[in-house]
């Protein structure tokens, strides 16, 4: 049995409760369960961006590239993020959109293997499939295999660690090893995992990965994504988008291109500093709260949300943790498209995925157990009316 009293007791016992004070809540009555798409705004982000605009940009102007660390910010923010991914310093760069980062990783994997067959599931996140199809279009001889059951003859596998529809977790080490046994490199999309799953990229043997910072890392709309390259292979990687930030001697303008050593070779054009400041602030909050505590609450929230869904007679397609991440649950209903705006009118913000999925995001730093209970109760009331 579930009840609002149980939810209130869980909130009182929650060790992460105080971290809600780190975030902006303009409307305290709004139930926001879409942090798995766009995380809430950390208060320190507002202050940090204001400082960069008013002091570093307006006051220090171009000297900020050197004096305020702008030139190396994709790498310093990457080092801040690395422990949340189970990666080492010097293995992560935060620098561009998820699409661009995935394109880099897919092409780097093709070059590393010398192969031509990329495998991806038909249910994979659309951007991943689009990147793969686009890569095959511009690289002669490269073909796409749809499905991951048979990896014989596959050179590159692209897959998400957390399924965006169901929150199911793919076993990182086992699937990386399975692909490697077939002679393939796996490019992992960590967009729905970073900041909510306690990752161990090093221990799992992952070589290449990419992901975003605007979901559970609360980096802000369009905040830059990241690339991860294992240190043992990074200097063998040829990334396909050459720009002056990836050049060994960046300001030797007449020199031919020579890639930087280390993860810096993944950089290309001039980074967006304001976006990086937002990403840095959100990553700082997650790092200070601790990814272990965040992941533990995600699992508890996931279990509680499924308990509520079952109690209210809702159809939930998300398995219980640890099969799922706890980052969201999916409720299935044929009228999902009309239920979403009706929920919004009642002050409940959730996500929709065609044709029949309502996603209830469970961002551990900002979501309370009473939010979950109230939202699912409101939905159940709508269906019973």
Catalytic residues: 125, 189, 214-215, 359
The residues near 59 (Cβ < 8 Å, ≥ 6 apart) are none
Strand-pairing partners, residue 35, are none
15 is written with which tokens? 């060790």
Spatial distance between the Cα atoms of 144 and 154, rounded to a whole number of angstroms: 9
How much is the CA Rg of the chain, to the nearest whole Å? 21
Spatial distance between the Cα atoms of 111 and 207, rounded to a whole number of angstroms: 13
CB 165 within 8 A of CB 357: yes
Spatial distance between the Cα atoms of 207 and 176, rounded to a whole number of angstroms: 9
Which of 288, 291, 292, 271 is closest to 76 using CA atoms?
A: 271
Which of 363, 307, 381, 373 is closest to 41 using CA atoms?
A: 363
Which of 379, 382, 384 is closest to 359 using CA atoms?
A: 379
Q: Is 71 exposed, middle or buried (0-12, 13-18, 19+ CB in 10 A)?
A: middle
The residues near 354 (Cβ < 8 Å, ≥ 6 apart) are 336, 337
Which of 275, 322, 278, 283 is closest to 302 using CA atoms?
A: 322
The residues near 254 (Cβ < 8 Å, ≥ 6 apart) are none
DSSP per position, 261-290: SGGGGG--S---HHHHHHHHHHHHHHHHH-
Which of 256, 95, 180, 216 is closest to 104 using CA atoms?
A: 95
How far, rounded to the nearest angstrom, does the alpha carbon of residue 145 sit from its chain's CA centroid?
A: 25
Spatial distance between the Cα atoms of 380 and 385, rounded to a whole number of angstroms: 9
């Amino acid at each position: 049995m579930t009840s609002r009293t149980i939810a209130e007791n869980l909130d009182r016992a929650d060790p992460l409760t105080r971290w809600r004070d780190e975030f902006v809540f303009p409307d305290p009555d709004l139930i926001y369960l879409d942090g798995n798409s766009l995380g809430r705004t950390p208060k320190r982000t507002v202050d940090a961006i204001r400082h960069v605009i008013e002091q570093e940009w307006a006051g220090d102007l171009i000297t900020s590239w050197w004096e305020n660390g702008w030139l190396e910010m994709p790498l310093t923010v990457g080092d801040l993020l690395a422990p949340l991914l189970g990666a080492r310093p010097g293995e992560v760069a935060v620098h561009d959109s998820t699409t661009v980062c995935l394109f880099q990783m897919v092409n780097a994997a093709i070059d590393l293997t010398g192969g031509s067959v990329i495998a991806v599931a038909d249910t994979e996140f659309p951007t991943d499939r689009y990147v793969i199809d686009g890569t095959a279009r511009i690289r002669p001889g490269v073909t796409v295999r749809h499905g991951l059951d048979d990896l014989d003859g596959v050179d590159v596998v692209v897959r998400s660690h957390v399924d965006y529809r169901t929150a199911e977790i793919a076993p990182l080490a086992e699937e990386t090893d399975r692909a490697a046994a077939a002679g393939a490199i796996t490019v992992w999309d960590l967009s729905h995992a970073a900041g909510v799953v306690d990752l161990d990229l090093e221990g799992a043997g992952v070589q290449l990965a990419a992901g975003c910072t605007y979901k559970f890392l609360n980096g802000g709309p369009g905040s830059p994504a990241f690339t991860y390259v294992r240190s043992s292979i990074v200097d063998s990687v040829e990334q396909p988008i050459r720009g002056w930030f990836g050049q060994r001697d960046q300001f030797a303008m007449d020199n031919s291109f020579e890639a930087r050593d280390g993860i810096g070779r993944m950089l290309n054009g001039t980074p967006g500093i304001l976006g990086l400041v937002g990403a840095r602030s959100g990553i700082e909050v997650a790092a200070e709260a601790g990814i272990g505590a965040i992941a533990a609450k995600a699992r508890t929230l996931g279990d509680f949300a499924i308990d509520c869904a079952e109690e209210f007679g809702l159809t939930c397609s998300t398995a219980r943790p640890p099969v799922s991440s706890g980052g969201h649950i999916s409720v299935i209903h044929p009228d999902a498209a009309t239920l979403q705006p009706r929920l919004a009118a009642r002050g409940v913000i959730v996500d929709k995925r065609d044709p029949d999925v309502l996603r209830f995001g469970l961002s551990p730093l900002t979501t309370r157990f009473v939010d979950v209970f109230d939202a699912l109760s409101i939905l159940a009331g709508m269906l019973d009316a």
